[in-house]
Amino acid sequence: MRHFFVLEAQLIAAEEKTKDAVAAAQFIDCWDWQGPGVYVGTDFDPFVSSPTRAALLLRIFEGARRKISDFGSDIPLAYLQKHLNSRTRYFTLPQSTERICGEIDRMIALLKRGQNQTSTANDLHTD
């Protein structure tokens, strides 16, 4: 997923050239792979400090999800080997887009839930 998040974030940063878009690309690029399914540096709270940044992260996740869906039922092994294989990680089978998109959907739902809680808290706050 990170690969597609990075691609989408870089695309948005190049098109929009805003501080938040560049910061989003840097934030995602710094996610550090530790092993299968384990990344560090992914705490959304410090990055999502405004509704604008939360909306930007949602756009990145949704754009990455669309790109993954465009592959059909699987991301081809040839694509994975060309763009994701390294000395420490490699793919030997195509990867299910349904599974990956389901994981992204959960991330999107989590981020949206956080936005709703923040909006509700802001709405209830009075001086």
**What is the pLDDT at residue 122?**
42
**SS3 label, residue 85:** coil
DSSP assignment letter at 53: H
pLDDT at 124 over 50: no
pLDDT digits (tens, 9 = 90+) for 28-54: 988 887 767 777 777 777 888 888 999
Grade residue 4 by pLDDT with cuts at 50, 70 and 90. Answer: very high
Q: Which of 53, 29, 52 is nearest to 41 (CA)?
A: 29
- How much is the pLDDT for 39? 73
List beta partners, residue 39: 33
Residue with tokens 């080997």: 81
Tens-digit pLDDT profile for residues 10-34 = 999 999 999 999 999 999 988 887 7
Q: Looking at the predicted structure, is the pLDDT value of residue 120 above 50?
A: no
Count of domains in the chain? 1
In this predicted model, what pLDDT tens digit does every residue of 55-88 receive, in sequence order? 999 999 999 999 999 999 999 999 999 998 888 8
Nearest Cα to Cα of residue 59 among 97, 115, 119 = 115
- Max CA distance (Å), the chain: 58
Q: How far is CA 62 from CA 41, 66, 78, 124, in A?
A: 20, 6, 24, 29
pLDDT at position 47 is 82
Average pLDDT of span 100-112: 92
d(CA 60, CA 65): 9
Q: What percent of the chain has pLDDT over 70?
A: 87
Structure tokens at 117: 């809680």
Containing structural domain, residue 56: 2-124
